[in-house]
Amino acid sequence: MKSRSSTISSASAVMSAEARVAAYNWQVFAGELDNYGCAVLPKLLSPGECRTIAALYSDESHFRSHIHMARHGFGWETTSAIPTTTRRFKQCHGGGQTRPTPLLLQYVPGDFNCLHQDLYGDLAFPIQVAILLSEPGKDFTGGEFVLTE
């Protein structure tokens, strides 16, 4: 059972995150998505929030499955045209696809993930969010993170 102080702490963390998200200039991000296919939301999570989320990885009870990337060659590409984000969002919701698919990935030296989309329904929603929980130069060196449209 949660203590009152942990409930208050969780509630304040949610309010803090909501305030951070509300403070972004969403018109600018929409323009970046339209023009470049990606947008960067700086300081979306605090360093402490990143550490807390990353620490969840070692406890498999938080997840419906646990994938070890070294055992798999996941990935595929598609060249089909993607309708506008708003239209696809409405199509997904209209088709009953209303739940997000959060993934927490952990990579160790030698791991990689091919270009792909995780599909859990008949339609693909074109926006994916990637949040780096590690600090480059401190938690790791080398490697690269590449997004492509």
Residue 28: pLDDT band (50, 70, 90) is very high
Cα–Cα dist 26/24, whole Å: 6
Beta bridge partners of 136: 140
By residue range, what is the domain housing residue 139?
A: 66-149
Q: pLDDT tens across 65-113, in order?
A: 766 655 544 445 443 444 566 777 788 888 888 877 777 888 878 777 7
Q: Is residue 109 in some structural domain? A: yes
Instruction: Please give the DSSP secondary-structure letter assigned to residue 29.
Output: H
- pLDDT of residue 147 exceeding 60, the answer is yes
Total domains present in the chain: 1
Q: Is residue 121 in some structural domain? A: yes
126 neighbors 89 (Cβ within 8 angstroms): no
Contacts of 88 (CB under 8 A, 6+ apart): 82, 123, 124, 125, 126
Q: What is the pTM of this model?
A: 0.63
Q: Is residue 41 in some structural domain? A: no
Q: Is residue 139 in some structural domain? A: yes
Q: Where do the DSSP E strands lie in the chain?
A: none
- pLDDT of residue 39 exceeding 70, the answer is yes
Q: Is residue 50 in some structural domain? A: no
- pLDDT of residue 47 exceeding 60, the answer is yes
